[in-house]
């Protein structure tokens, strides 16, 4: 069961990278804002159908929720917009890894200060080392990307 769940979650990650590349390709033809808009609209439609069948929560409680919680929608929008901008310029892998690093580093800060009612997990030496390794990874992605785009250019010219 546990293994099945981990596989299912791996699939979640796979769909995220597939989304980045599909949107990147679409964005080259239709434009950044247009691609992001389409992604949100189709996502909304699918979720609407989902909620009608499986929704157990209380959508109307949305109006009573604190406004700072609702403002997260701007962040969700920012994420998608920035991804659609970055993918055609630096590629899927660099966008994914840079995105993951931003996510993990900020995640650790949130944990460290216990913002948004999160569990307080201090930024210890293990987590500091982890951040160091992430930036090493970013460096290698940059290097690797540069080399493979150089090689492709050599072939085409």
Is-contact 97 141, C-beta < 8 A? Answer: yes
Q: Which of 145, 133, 132 is nearest to 95 (CA)?
A: 145
Q: What is the contact mask toward other proteins in residues 1 to 30, using x (rule: CB under 8 A)?
A: xx--xx-xxxxxxxxxxxxxxxxxxx-xxx
Smallest separation, CB 110 to other proteins (Å): 5
Residue among 120, 122, 144, 157 that touches other proteins (CB under 8 A): 144
* Site membership for other proteins, residue 70 (CB under 8 A): yes
CA–CA distance from 82 to each of 5, 26, 76, 86 (Å)? 30, 14, 10, 6
* Site membership for other proteins, residue 122 (CB under 8 A): no
Q: What is the contact mask toward other proteins in residues 88 to 117, using x (rule: CB under 8 A)?
A: xxxxxxxxxxxxxxxxxxxxx-x----xxx
Interface with other proteins: number of residues (CB under 8 A) = 124
d(C-alpha 90, C-alpha 93), whole Å: 8
Smallest separation, CB 85 to other proteins (Å): 6
* Site membership for other proteins, residue 47 (CB under 8 A): yes
* Site membership for other proteins, residue 151 (CB under 8 A): yes
* Site membership for other proteins, residue 120 (CB under 8 A): no
* Site membership for other proteins, residue 127 (CB under 8 A): yes
Smallest separation, CB 31 to other proteins (Å): 2
């Amino acid at each position: 069961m546990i293994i099945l769940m981990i596989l299912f979650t791996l699939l979640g990650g796979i769909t995220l990278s597939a989304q980045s590349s599909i949107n990147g390709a679409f964005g080259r033809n239709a434009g950044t804002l247009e691609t992001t808009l389409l992604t949100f609209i189709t996502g909304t439609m699918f979720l609407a159908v989902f909620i009608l069948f499986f929704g157990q929560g209380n959508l109307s409680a949305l109006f009573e929720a604190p406004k700072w919680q609702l403002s997260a929608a701007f962040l969700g929008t920012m994420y998608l917009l920035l991804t659609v901008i970055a993918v055609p310029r630096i590629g899927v892998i660099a966008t994914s890894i840079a995105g993951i690093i931003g996510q993990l580093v900020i995640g650790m800060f949130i944990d460290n200060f216990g913002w948004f009612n999160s569990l307080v997990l201090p930024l210890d030496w293990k987590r500091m080392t982890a951040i160091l390794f992430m930036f090493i990874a970013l460096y290698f992605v940059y290097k690797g990307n540069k080399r493979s785009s150089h090689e492709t250019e050599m072939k085409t010219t």
